[in-house]
Amino acid sequence: MKRVVVGLVALAAVAILIVVTRGPSRQPVPDAFTPDSFWNTPIPSDALADPRSDQIVAFLAADNRLEGCITLAGAERDEWGMPVYLSDGSSPEFAVESTKYSVPSEFQSLRIPKDALPAATSDAEMVIYDVERGYVTQLSKAAFSSETNTWTVTGGSIAYLDSNGIYGTIDGLGDPRNGGSFRGYNGAVAAVSYDDVLAGRVDNVLKIGVNSSRDEAMFPLINSDGDSLDPDAPSQGQRLRIRADVDLAEYGLTGQALIIARGLQEFGAIIGDSTGGGVVLKLEDMKRAGTTGSWSLDRTSLCSIPASDYQIVAPDLP
């Protein structure tokens, strides 16, 4: 999540990303969580694989579309990306009511930028950073009523930027200020940040969804929405990575795709959601948010990487 571009190679990669943009400029999203946080900790190159890694990866290849390829939601005309906003003292304040799940107390006074739009999908999600108040929030099935000037959601989360990003319900490991209805992941990891890719490095753990998973959660998640009974299905919270010995240059990846793949190789992604279709990694949706930036990717930009190059990392509890 750092905004540092290192060396001429990275500068050259950034130059490739320059495209025609639309909308107003926006300050970069802030760094989230302490440097030693789980979410900011790279996977050692010699990290052990889960004892059932091969079986789980084979299950993902067979159970998901495109043989388990990680597809990029929010690329091209796809609407399943994640709109990301920054709020401040000029943003209207709302008492956001949840119609389904319990939400943190901060939802009684959330600052939501004027004209903010959730994703144009059935999930209607969006992420808002409030730097002055020190947290990032994610909203689900967010809806604004112009008649009553109110926002409603079915769920949401809060994670404080100066914390370790772990839910407080994980005794002794989390921050009591962090919590919500997203099973343990948070808005800062819910999508690939355009700012990170523009800077040349994705340097945090991300969240992916898969078609099927077990009704079992592992750290850093606290529960699962999976229902598979297959013993080879992954548990939610398990960490998937591109193996450290894979030479990404072999697959012809360039520009944004290569930067994202390097992040998946170094930091990996936790399985945190059920998609009912494929392995899905969300991209930040600048078009929906109306801010500067554009992806030069399609949904299958990472699909040259075969499932056999992925690995489930052995659990790494703090």
> pLDDT category, 77, cuts 50, 70, 90?
confident
Three-state secondary structure call for residue 148: coil
pLDDT given at position 1 = 55
Say yes or no: 118 and 237 in one domain. Answer: no
**What DSSP state is assigned to residue 110?**
E
pLDDT given at position 97 = 97
Last residue of a domain, one of 165, 187, 209: 187
List, for residues 254-276, the tens digit of each pLDDT value: 999 999 999 999 999 999 999 99
pLDDT given at position 18 = 33
Rounded Cα–Cα distance for residues 198 and 259 (Å)? 9
Say yes or no: 69 and 207 in one domain. Answer: yes
Say yes or no: 72 and 197 in one domain. Answer: yes
Read off the pLDDT of each residue in 121-143 and give the average, rounded to a whole number.
98
> pLDDT category, 24, cuts 50, 70, 90?
low
More reliable by pLDDT, 2 or 314 = 314
Say yes or no: 215 and 296 in one domain. Answer: yes
Read off the pLDDT of each residue in 94-108 and give the average, rounded to a whole number.
98
List, for residues 141-158, the tens digit of each pLDDT value: 999 999 999 999 999 999
With beta carbons less than 8 A apart as the criterion, state whether 300 and 91 touch: no
Looking at the predicted structure, is the pLDDT value of residue 73 above 50?
Answer: yes
Query: Cα 51 to the chain's mean position, in Å?
Result: 26
Say yes or no: 206 and 315 in one domain. Answer: yes
Q: Give the C-alpha distances (Å, rounded to integers) separating 247 from 47, 243, 252, 253.
A: 17, 9, 10, 11
Rounded Cα–Cα distance for residues 87 and 90 (Å)? 8
With beta carbons less than 8 A apart as the criterion, state whether 10 and 213 touch: no
Domain assignment of residue 174, yes or no: yes
Read off the pLDDT of each residue in 189-203 and give the average, rounded to a whole number.
97
Domain assignment of residue 18, yes or no: no
pLDDT given at position 76 = 87
Instruction: Give the number of C-alpha atoms closer than 13 A to the C-alpha of residue 193, restricted to the C-beta side.
Output: 29
pLDDT given at position 241 = 98
Mean pLDDT of the chain: 92
> pLDDT category, 172, cuts 50, 70, 90?
confident
More reliable by pLDDT, 169 or 18 = 169
> pLDDT category, 33, cuts 50, 70, 90?
very high
Rounded Cα–Cα distance for residues 51 and 17 (Å)? 39
Say yes or no: 90 and 181 in one domain. Answer: yes
Last residue of a domain, one of 140, 156, 187: 187
Three-state secondary structure call for residue 315: coil
| 82: nearest Cα among 135, 145, 128 | 128
Number of neighbouring beta carbons within 10 Å of residue 54: 14
Say yes or no: 157 and 284 in one domain. Answer: no
pLDDT given at position 318 = 55
Say yes or no: 112 and 101 in one domain. Answer: yes
pLDDT given at position 2 = 46
Number of neighbouring beta carbons within 10 Å of residue 33: 26
pLDDT given at position 303 = 97
List, for residues 38-67, the tens digit of each pLDDT value: 999 999 999 999 999 999 999 999 999 999
- Interacting residues of 182 by C-beta distance below 8 A, sequence separation 6+: 138, 140, 155, 156, 157, 190, 272
Domain assignment of residue 124, yes or no: yes
Looking at the predicted structure, is the pLDDT value of residue 4 above 90?
Answer: no
With beta carbons less than 8 A apart as the criterion, state whether 133 and 158 touch: no
Rounded Cα–Cα distance for residues 148 and 146 (Å)? 6
Read off the pLDDT of each residue in 279-304 and give the average, rounded to a whole number.
95
Say yes or no: 201 and 168 in one domain. Answer: no
- Interacting residues of 272 by C-beta distance below 8 A, sequence separation 6+: 182, 183, 184, 185, 207, 208, 209, 221, 236, 237
Q: Which residue has the tokens 């030693």?
A: 36
Rounded Cα–Cα distance for residues 120 and 138 (Å)? 15
pLDDT given at position 72 = 98
Say yes or no: 197 and 73 in one domain. Answer: yes
pLDDT given at position 171 = 84
> pLDDT category, 186, cuts 50, 70, 90?
very high
Say yes or no: 161 and 263 in one domain. Answer: no
Q: How many domains does the chain contain in total? A: 2
Domain assignment of residue 162, yes or no: yes
> Got the DSSP string for 26-78?
-PPPPP-S-TTSGGGPPPPTTPPBPTTHHHHHHHHHHHSGGGG-EEEETSTT-
Domain assignment of residue 8, yes or no: no
| Structural domain range at position 241 | 39-82+191-318
Domain assignment of residue 25, yes or no: no
Residue 210 has phi, psi (to 5 degrees) of: -130, 160
Domain assignment of residue 98, yes or no: yes
pLDDT given at position 155 = 98
pLDDT given at position 27 = 82
pLDDT given at position 169 = 94
Last residue of a domain, one of 153, 187, 221: 187
Rounded Cα–Cα distance for residues 153 and 90 (Å)? 22
Say yes or no: 75 and 108 in one domain. Answer: no
Sign for the CA dihedral angle at 316, 182, 116, 130 comes to negative
